[in-house]
């Protein structure tokens, strides 16, 4: 991404995903690049052999999201080794098998991005979208998946 996303204290990375109930994947993985691709989180089976299991390069997040529903995946940036001050310049959406629809992804942050100032009337964190792609209209409101760990 140019310009990169600036990671701040307590930031969370998010992505919306829909897994086809007739052809589910074994695993889905999100990857981030800050000069290295060694920042990954995955849901489902441990089927993609990139990074070291249980480390910031391959962090297990639990079971696959519910099939046939839009779900918001969230990962604490620090959990995948992206500390405050890191700059994310790439994002990968990876799956093992099945059919997956990836949609809006971004960063929940209080850190201004590229000189942008936040609305002073909004004290809550702001979502910064770094990638958006709609393939299917959402059949129902998305829900948030959190880690089981």
How much is the pLDDT for 16?
Answer: 96
Provide the 10 A C-beta neighbour count for residue 70: 20
Q: 95 with 31: CB under 8 angstroms?
A: no
What SS3 class is residue 46?
coil
Bridge pairing between strands 27-33 and 90-96: antiparallel
Q: What is the pLDDT of residues 107-118, one digit of tens each?
A: 888 777 776 655
Taking the CA atoms of residue 103, residue 91, residue 143 and residue 21 in that order, the dihedral angle to the nearest 10 degrees is 60
Q: Return d(Cα 80, Cα 2) in angstroms, integer.
A: 21
- Statement: residue 7 has pLDDT above 50: yes
The pTM (predicted TM-score) of the whole model is 0.78
Q: Return d(Cα 108, Cα 54) in angstroms, integer.
A: 24
Q: What is the pLDDT of residues 21-31, one digit of tens each?
A: 999 999 999 99
How much is the pLDDT for 115?
Answer: 62
Q: What is the pLDDT of residues 44-88, one digit of tens each?
A: 999 999 999 999 999 999 999 999 999 999 999 999 999 999 999
Tell which wins on pLDDT, 147 or 26: 26
- What mean pLDDT, rounded, does the chain reach? 82
Bridge pairing between strands 126-131 and 100-109: antiparallel
């Amino acid at each position: 991404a140019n310009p990169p996303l600036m990671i701040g204290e307590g930031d969370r990375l998010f992505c919306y995903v829909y897994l086809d109930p007739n052809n589910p994947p074994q695993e889905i993985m999100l990857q981030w690049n800050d000069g290295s691709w060694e920042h990954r989180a995955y849901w489902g089976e441990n089927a993609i052999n990139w990074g070291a299991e249980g480390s910031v390069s391959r962090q297990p997040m639990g079971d696959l999201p519910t099939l046939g529903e839009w779900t918001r995946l969230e990962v604490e940036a620090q959990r995948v080794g992206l500390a405050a001050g890191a700059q994310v310049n790439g994002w990968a959406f990876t799956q093992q098998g099945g059919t997956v629809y990836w949609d809006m992804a971004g960063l929940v942050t209080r850190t201004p991005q590229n000189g942008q100032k936040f609305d002073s009337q909004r004290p809550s964190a702001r979502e910064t979208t770094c990638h958006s792609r709609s393939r299917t209209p959402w059949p129902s409101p998305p829900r948030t998946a959190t880690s089981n760990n």
